Amino acid sequence: MNTERFMLRCGVNLILLDNEKVLLLFRNNTGFEDGTFGVVGGHMDGNETARETIIREAQEEVNIQLNPEELKLVGTIHRKLIHCEFIDLFFASQSWLGSLTNKEPEKHSYYKWVEINELPTNTMPLVKTAINNYLNGKSYDELGWDT
């Protein structure tokens, strides 16, 4: 009998909004979905809440400070990859402090604001799904379970 418990990974992501635009980052050299657009986000390190995770990631990736009270949980996606499963949480915010700066150019070539209804064709499927769900008021989805 296998006594090891199943471990589920958690990613936390930010849909940062400026009017009708969303901030996207072009991924490179990450080993996952390089050549696509993603959003600010990352894995929970442990011993931190989901809000603390996205606040840390926003500071680490684009040099902005988020107010935890302004963060709204807008979506959850249960994602199955070949080697593991994830729960991805998506927070939205329309406010921040600081000037956007690409602090991880080794992982993101650049960032840009795009019209939320006109995402680039090379947007990560996870991010495209999450943003479309956000726009349609859908709070939960699943990806990768049919493969």
Distance CA 2, CA 68 (A): 40
pLDDT per residue as tens digits for the range 84-123: 999 999 999 999 999 999 999 999 999 999 999 999 999 9
Tell me if 102 sits within 8 A of 62, measured CB to CB: yes
Question: For the domain 12-143, what is the CATH code?
Answer: 3.90.79.10
pLDDT per residue as tens digits for the range 48-68: 999 999 999 999 999 999 999
Question: What is this structure's pTM?
Answer: 0.94
**For residue 50, what are the contacts with CB-CB under 8 A and spacing of at least 6?**
10, 12, 44, 73, 89, 91
